[in-house]
A and B are shown apart, each in its own frame.
Chain A
Amino acid sequence: MIEFKGVSVTYPGAKEPALADVNITFQKGEFVCVLGRSGAGKSTFIRCINGLQPVSEGYVKWEDKTLSEMTHKETLEVRRKTGMIFQHFNLIPRMSVVQNILTGLFGYKKSYENLLGLFKSSDRLQALEAIDQVELTVEPTRRVEKLSGGQKQRVAIARALVQNPKVFLGDEPVASLDPGTADRIFQLLKKTHVKRNLVSIINVHDVILAKKFATRIIALKDGKLVFDGTPEEFDDKVYADIYNHSS
């Protein structure tokens, strides 16, 4: 469903590529965790999938279409079917929980509807349902600055849910949360993933979480794909190899 072919990314001014000749394919139903040391290229990799980061070489394909050859409209369509969640939640401050969730519909609406906040009652209902699904128990009119980290991430997931996504992308979605909350957020992601039959590709620093939830683990090192296998195959030896500083 999503295919990387010879993908490299070199940031302007950088000597070494942040992503080097990555080849990989993802299928529907896969819950993929991406591991790697800090600076290995995980964020760059994730951002290539929905075109937030343009590739320097190779291509990323969605079904049969190459991302870099899509029209602007097609790119927006790819993005709106991709729910993305971030380490720092990236909610819009000074807006309420439900307002933030409704911004997830921006890709479906005309500009003037977004600008004026012309949402149908069915849209609102959808937002409230999403609040339910992420098991958020705060008042929908509460401002998001006043939530805890775990609650904020639930709002972000709800925002991704109303996009009616085919793909979930996560750039270290639990890195700012305590271990208990991190586990519950992952449970939520996995549950939604199964229910909606998505492709989920999520960066994590926590190997235990990855092994617990992933159906497939991949690992990056210095921008290269160095491991691709099942959680069982990801053993101590592979671990040492990826996180070892000396090599």
Chain B
Amino acid sequence: MVWFKRSQFLILLCLSLLVIGSMKLTEFDLSKFRDFQNMGDFLSKWFPMNTESLPFLFQESLLTIAIAFLGSLFGLIIALPLSFMAARNTSRNRFVYSVTRFLLSFLRSVPEFVFGLILLTTLGLGPFPAVIAIIFHNIGVLGKLISELIESADKGPMEAMLAVGARKWIGNLFAVLPQIWPNVLSQFFYRFEVAIRTSLILGLIGGGGIGQQLFIHFKTFQYQLVSVDVLLIMIMVIMVDYIGSKIREKVI
């Protein structure tokens, strides 16, 4: 067993204890699948799909995409400059660095759902508060991810831009952005995909879009519409993933 050290067995032991503890807490028990029959019965109610309101649901899907798109794009646009302030190697000073880091982790720690609930009080129901909630959270997430990309960028080009007599922020922008751009794009598309799923949850508090329809149909036992909602959601996620990978291929 040349690959293993004694300490690694200790780690394995701790890990096993954690797994057992977590399984207790979550009532993790595969034998519960005995009642598999129930799920089958339930799922069979989903078919045949009710395609009558497909045009309307399609429209709601577009709304969902629009929420997710704006939520991640505006998030990215705001996160980009902030991430330069939150990266050790490009930040103006320690103070700016610490303050932006703190701001980003604060934004990250508040779930979109909570932002949505708070915004409801001023913005009312509808997709707008959903967009803002997603933007806030995405600023936090993308800001952190991009600032880490900036920190690991090759510092050679930055040095060259300084040596040319460029202002620091211009030099950093030109030296760093081309290096990290493909990764930024893939993070963006990943967040876009996540935002689609998030906007479904926000549908629960009146955020609009296909998520809201899903919950309405579910609560009113219209399972043949639920199946249509789910199908549309799956198509959307796969589509965004596909377009994202195509665009990334072009960029690299």
Residues of A bordering B, CB below 8 Å:
50, 52, 76-82, 84, 86, 88-95, 103-104, 106-108, 111, 114-115, 156, 159, 163, 169
Contacts and interface: CB of A to CB of B under 8 A. Distances in A.
Interface stretch (B40-48, B103-111, B173-181, B236-244): B173-181
21 contacts: A50-B163, A52-B163, A76-B166, A76-B167, A78-B165, A79-B163, A82-B165, A84-B163, A88-B156, A90-B160, A91-B157, A92-B175, A93-B157, A103-B174, A106-B171, A106-B174, A107-B164, A115-B170, A156-B160, A163-B165, A169-B163
Interface of B: 156-157, 159-167, 169-171, 173-175, 178-179, 181
A107 B178 contact: no
A163 B164 contact: yes
A231 B96 CA distance: 50
B156 A106 contact: no
Given A79-B165, A106-B165, A93 B160 contact: no
Contacts of B162: 52, 79
Contacts of A108: 165
Pick the most buried of A95, A114, A159, A169: most chain B CB atoms within 10 A of its CB.
A114
A106 B170 CA distance: 9
Contacts of A95: 178
Contacts of B166: 76, 103, 106-107, 114
Sorted from nearest, which 5 A-B pairs have the closest CB atoms?
A107-B165, A80-B165, A106-B166, A79-B165, A90-B160
Nearest to B182: A94
A106 B157 contact: no
A106 B163 contact: no
A106 B178 contact: no
B160 A84 contact: yes
A89 B160 CA distance: 9
B159 A52 contact: yes
B164 A86 contact: no
Nearest to B176: A92
A77 B181 CA distance: 30
A91 B178 CA distance: 11
Contacts of A78: 165
A52 B156 CA distance: 12
A89 B159 CA distance: 11
B181 A94 contact: yes
B178 A77 contact: no
A31 B170 CA distance: 32
B178 A92 contact: yes
Given A94-B178, A111-B170, A106 B159 contact: no
Contact of B167 (A84, A111, A169): A111
A72 B89 CA distance: 19
A181 B166 CA distance: 30
Given A84-B164, A163-B165, 6 more contacts: A79-B163, A86-B159, A90-B156, A91-B157, A92-B174, A114-B174
A88 B179 CA distance: 15
Contacts of B156: 86, 88-90
Given A104-B164, A106-B166, A90 B178 contact: no
Contacts of B181: 94
A82 B165 CA distance: 8
A90 B170 contact: no
Pick the most buried of A88, A91, A107, A163: most chain B CB atoms within 10 A of its CB.
A107
A90 B157 contact: yes
B59 to A, nearest CB: 39
Nearest to A114: B170
Contacts of B164: 79-80, 84, 103-104, 106-107, 159, 163
